[in-house]
Chain A
Amino acid sequence: MKAYFIRRLFYLVPIIVGISLITFLLFRVVGGDPVDRVAGRYATSAQKAELRHQFGFDKPLWPPVGKLLKGDLKGFADNQLFRHFADTFTFRFGRSEQYKRKISDMIKDGVLPSLSLTVPAFIIGIFLQITIAVFCAFKQGSRFDRVVVVLSVIGMSLPYLALIIFGQAYLAGKLKWFPIYGYPEGIGLGVIPFVALPVLLGVVAGLGAGVRFYRTVILDETRADYVRTARAKGVGETGVMFGHVLKNAMIPIITQVVVVIPFLFLGSLLLERFFSIPGLGYMLIDAVNSSDWPVINALTFVGALIYLGALLLTDLCYALVDPRVTLK
């Protein structure tokens, strides 16, 4: 497993370079001119050219091969792509162009509010989804199962935005069970009243699709030969479900669960906006809309790293839960 792990880490290198190159291509080559945002609305072309020079945006985008052929290594290295690689791979993300803040501070400040919202919603959501799915599978065809399936389909059909608007207007605005909006400074128990409603809405929003998915996964397993064998050997229904079915259903469950983890760090755009939670949810979209290139680069790179890490973790988990999977 160790050799597999090391090999996978090496495989990540070209992927990370590729991601960084694609980000560069998208926003520096085909995206807007970053100087426009900085120059202000009265700037003339001469003033913009002056700024372009000052920021180094007048340097060549690509390494000038001609200089390499002439042996001018310094000239070859002096280009925007190499500077981008050097800054990105050493995590020197710099400052946001529009907020003038260190991007590392922005991520640090935003990640905890985002996680305080997404992690409870994720854990409670997964727990409820799997628990309800197990009961449905256990009591397949019962009135409970039929009602849950109908409610799940209704839940899946309900637009997320409509659920948030209704939940906020009714539960917070009308019944006053929760604060309408807000988030206290710092992280502590004081955040609980403020994240309670967004978490509830996040859980409800994911419930329908989750229950349907896990119910199907578990039912697929209950029809397998080994389950029939277990029953023939006299194993009780509870033993079949928890000792055999659930264990074997773990592969698709892990795939579904681990792949979601990177997105927990990036927050929830709608919930954060509607409840004024200062998380990372809106940061990337805000940066794209404002051509805030350093923020786009940082979030894409960090997001990609977390995602690749999660994929690696998924593979490792497969080996842990299923003895048939070996990592070579």
Chain B
Amino acid sequence: MVRRAALASKIRGLDPQDIGDTTSSAVGAQIFETLYTYSYLERPYQLIPLLAEEMPVISEDGRKYTIRIKEGVFFADEPSFPGGRGRELTAEDFIFAWKRMADLNNRSTNYPAIFQGYVVGLDEFREYTATTPDVDYDRPVEGLRAPDPSTIEITLNKPHNFLLYWLAHLPTAPVAREVVESYGKDVVNHPVGTGPFRLVGNYRSNQFSMVRNENFREVRYPARASPELRERGLLKDAGRRIPFIHRIEWSIIEEAQPLWLAFMAGELDSSGIPKDNFPQVINRDKELTPEMKAKEIDLIKAEDPSIFYYGFNMDDPVVGKNRPLRQAMSLAFDRETYIETFLNGRGHVPIGPIPPMITGHRPDKRNPYTGYDPAEARRLLKEAEEIQGGAIPELKLAMPGTDTTVRQMGEFFRLQMRGIGLKVEVDYMTWPRFQDATKTRSHQLFALGWLADYPDAQNFLLLFYGPNRSPGPNACNYDNPQFNALYEDAVAIPELAGRIPLYHKMEDIVIEDCPWLLTVYRVGYALYYEWLRNYYPNDFANGTIKYQRVETDLRESILRKREEKR
């Protein structure tokens, strides 16, 4: 049983501690596993144990986590192990992996978000790694202990209420020390994990394969699903042993046309919809056209946990000090036309910075500044001119890219603002130049987006927290003492339910202050052939191909019939 999947860009590397891009994550997640993951078919997303035996025991002061790991979990076979046979996973493998992430020589981008400032002694270990390229991984870290091979104890300097989310994040996956030491820096080319699949061949080429990890433990298809996913028939395989797939054949296809041709030829089991092919696939009701249905193709629409916006630099003397101006610009932007023009309608007009699929999103909340109301915008602009003490000078928008679509988006923004009498000059920048200007707070207006790392609204609200100002992730340099106090209160609350009312208060402040001109909540459209079973997007769970099944006979029959028709 073969699963044929495509990737839209090259894989940067499969060292789990350094994985940071979506393509490497998609591939690496089939090989490596984490302590926790997200339930495949339940929404809202729920954390469940993966390599952990159960959810952790957390001390009352929130500073000590005791985590039991599953027994009988083995690494895939690899020549670095004695006799080439993968050995059993131990608690020390996690500690080794986390020290690797802290090791400055490994240049991992993930350490600041996950562990910095939290684990007792780990920052000191990181400082030590700056002094030598030959890091001693036996050097103890007080906050990371393995009292026995199946138990991890993490001691924190202060409570870290988002640690569990990060322990479901691929960079915290365990690696075997003997494999790392055997390959040295080239371990990035030799990924060996405990996951359902193992790599065969060279993933640096544009086509490569994975086969089942023969050492993968007994795991069953989930028996729980949200009602709408149950209705899609996604529980038919409940209780059956996984993975079903024997082999995954990956193809890196960076251009939309070959991707689409390959999917239509049945060489791929699933695909997105290229912008240019959208009208031939989706009708005006945003459903599949009859021609596509006749080809035994199905459609899934799922909201992305992401947000896109034009940011106002709050340090800027014109836009940063003039709330009515920001509100006026937000009301002058026709989001429905934008979504139809640039995304073929694949998106919703946004409400606030907390998008759908994230706990804390309020679908019924009304944002008075995301509708299209040029008359109100002009009224607010007059107020803004009074604050400015005259006409608003020409504004400057920075766009992150120089390609045609980015230019069209920049032009669209310029014309929308001209509609209320504002002049905007657009500067199209390469990504490094754009990043540099963001870091030095040189933009006045800029276009950006954010894709969630975990399904908690805090992952979006941190983008407005004052101490995170540029070069931190708060690119608009918003710094509101009231918001900051609420943020600090919220992140100190251990339970999500307790944080949500504060999240809503913070979101209300941001909506009114308008440091972002929100553009879209994107909706992902995915196509798949009927021979692919149990396929459903999950933006946070790792390694979901293990749940999927390919009906090989059905595939052959569909393709044969199609060939006969030609």
Q: Is residue A183 contacting chain B, with contact meaning CB distance below 8 A?
A: yes
0/1 per residue, B410-452, Cβ < 8 Å to A? 0000000000000000000011110110010000000000000
B189 and A101 contacting across the interface, CB-CB below 8 Å:
yes
Assembly CA distance A273 to B112 (angstroms): 35
B432 and A274 contacting across the interface, CB-CB below 8 Å:
no
Q: Is residue A57 contacting chain B, with contact meaning CB distance below 8 A?
A: no
Q: Is residue B206 contacting chain A, with contact meaning CB distance below 8 A?
A: yes
A33 and B253 contacting across the interface, CB-CB below 8 Å:
no
A100 and B433 contacting across the interface, CB-CB below 8 Å:
no
Assembly CA distance A102 to B262 (angstroms): 32
B112 and A182 contacting across the interface, CB-CB below 8 Å:
no
A288 to chain B, nearest CB (A): 7
Q: Is residue A165 contacting chain B, with contact meaning CB distance below 8 A?
A: yes
Given contacts A101-B13, A273-B255, A276-B252, contact A183 B207 (CB under 8 A): yes
Chain B residue at minimum C-beta to C-beta distance from A27: B432
Q: Size class of B's contact patch? A: 35 or more
Given contacts A98-B12, A100-B15, contact A43 B471 (CB under 8 A): yes
Tell me which residues from 212 to 268 in chain B have a Cβ below 8 Å from any Cβ of chain A: 251-255, 257-258, 261-262, 264-265, 267
Which residue of the partner chain, among B112, B267, B431, B473, contacts A290 with CB atoms under 8 Å? B431
Which residue of the partner chain, among A32, A54, A275, contacts B432 with CB atoms under 8 Å? A32
**Complex interface: chain A residues within 8 A of B18 (CB):** 100
Chain A residue at minimum C-beta to C-beta distance from B434: A32
Assembly CA distance A98 to B107 (angstroms): 10
Chain A residue at minimum C-beta to C-beta distance from B207: A182
B109 and A38 contacting across the interface, CB-CB below 8 Å:
yes
B258 and A275 contacting across the interface, CB-CB below 8 Å:
yes
Q: Is residue A253 contacting chain B, with contact meaning CB distance below 8 A?
A: no
A47 and B258 contacting across the interface, CB-CB below 8 Å:
no
A95 and B185 contacting across the interface, CB-CB below 8 Å:
yes
A40 to chain B, nearest CB (A): 3
A44 and B204 contacting across the interface, CB-CB below 8 Å:
no
**Complex interface: chain A residues within 8 A of B204 (CB):** 101, 109, 278
**Complex interface: chain B residues within 8 A of A119 (CB):** none
B471 and A276 contacting across the interface, CB-CB below 8 Å:
no
0/1 per residue, A161-190, Cβ < 8 Å to B? 000010011001100100011111100000
B471 and A45 contacting across the interface, CB-CB below 8 Å:
yes
Q: Is residue A62 contacting chain B, with contact meaning CB distance below 8 A?
A: no
Assembly CA distance A51 to B107 (angstroms): 8
B207 and A184 contacting across the interface, CB-CB below 8 Å:
yes
A175 to chain B, nearest CB (A): 10
**Complex interface: chain B residues within 8 A of A36 (CB):** 432, 435-436, 439, 471
Given contacts A33-B439, A181-B262, A276-B251, contact A43 B112 (CB under 8 A): yes
Chain A residue at minimum C-beta to C-beta distance from B263: A180
Q: Is residue A50 contacting chain B, with contact meaning CB distance below 8 A?
A: yes
Assembly CA distance A278 to B202 (angstroms): 12
Q: Is residue B149 contacting chain A, with contact meaning CB distance below 8 A?
A: no
Q: Is residue A31 contacting chain B, with contact meaning CB distance below 8 A?
A: yes
Given contacts A169-B257, A289-B432, contact A183 B473 (CB under 8 A): no
B188 and A168 contacting across the interface, CB-CB below 8 Å:
no
Q: Is residue A244 contacting chain B, with contact meaning CB distance below 8 A?
A: no
B481 to chain A, nearest CB (A): 20
A136 to chain B, nearest CB (A): 35
B267 and A40 contacting across the interface, CB-CB below 8 Å:
no
Tell me which residues from 260 to 276 in chain A have a Cβ below 8 Å from any Cβ of chain B: 273-276
Which residue of the partner chain, among A98, A101, A274, contacts B258 with CB atoms under 8 Å? A274
Assembly CA distance A37 to B189 (angstroms): 20
B12 and A273 contacting across the interface, CB-CB below 8 Å:
no
Q: Is residue B330 contacting chain A, with contact meaning CB distance below 8 A?
A: no
Which residue of the partner chain, among B186, B251, B261, B472, contacts A172 with CB atoms under 8 Å? B261
Given contacts A39-B109, A42-B112, A101-B189, contact A181 B435 (CB under 8 A): no
Chain B residue at minimum C-beta to C-beta distance from A164: B257
A182 and B20 contacting across the interface, CB-CB below 8 Å:
no
Q: Is residue B482 contacting chain A, with contact meaning CB distance below 8 A?
A: no
Q: Is residue B116 contacting chain A, with contact meaning CB distance below 8 A?
A: yes
Q: Is residue A48 contacting chain B, with contact meaning CB distance below 8 A?
A: yes
Assembly CA distance A39 to B255 (angstroms): 29
A290 and B432 contacting across the interface, CB-CB below 8 Å:
yes
B104 and A51 contacting across the interface, CB-CB below 8 Å:
yes
Q: Is residue B317 contacting chain A, with contact meaning CB distance below 8 A?
A: no
Which residue of the partner chain, among A38, A101, A173, A289, contacts B107 with CB atoms under 8 Å? A38
**Complex interface: chain A residues within 8 A of B430 (CB):** 288-289
A37, A181, A274 interface centre (most CB from chain B within 10 Å): A181
Q: Is residue A99 contacting chain B, with contact meaning CB distance below 8 A?
A: yes
A181 and B251 contacting across the interface, CB-CB below 8 Å:
yes
Assembly CA distance A2 to B46 (angstroms): 76
A173 and B261 contacting across the interface, CB-CB below 8 Å:
yes
Assembly CA distance A277 to B185 (angstroms): 26
**Complex interface: chain A residues within 8 A of B265 (CB):** 173, 176, 180
Chain B residue at minimum C-beta to C-beta distance from A110: B204
Given contacts A40-B110, A288-B430, contact A32 B206 (CB under 8 A): no
Q: Is residue A70 contacting chain B, with contact meaning CB distance below 8 A?
A: no
A228 to chain B, nearest CB (A): 54
**Complex interface: chain A residues within 8 A of B294 (CB):** none
Q: Is residue B201 contacting chain A, with contact meaning CB distance below 8 A?
A: yes
Chain A residue at minimum C-beta to C-beta distance from B21: A98
A40 and B261 contacting across the interface, CB-CB below 8 Å:
no
B339 to chain A, nearest CB (A): 25
B411 to chain A, nearest CB (A): 22
**Complex interface: chain A residues within 8 A of B433 (CB):** 32
> With contacts A32-B433, A43-B112, A168-B258 known, what are 12 further pairs, Cβ within 8 A?
A36-B435, A39-B109, A41-B113, A41-B473, A100-B13, A165-B257, A180-B258, A180-B267, A182-B206, A274-B258, A275-B258, A278-B205
Q: List 18 A-B contacts (CB under 8 A).
A: A39-B112, A40-B20, A41-B109, A42-B473, A43-B109, A43-B112, A44-B471, A44-B472, A99-B13, A100-B15, A100-B185, A101-B204, A109-B205, A165-B257, A185-B202, A185-B205, A276-B258, A290-B431
Interface residues of B (CB under 8 A from A): 10, 12-13, 15, 18, 20, 104, 107-113, 116, 130, 185-186, 188-189, 201-202, 204-208, 251-255, 257-258, 261-262, 264-265, 267, 430-433, 435-436, 439, 468, 471-473
Q: A-B pairs with the 8 shortest C-beta distances?
A: A40-B109, A32-B432, A42-B113, A291-B432, A173-B261, A181-B258, A276-B206, A100-B13
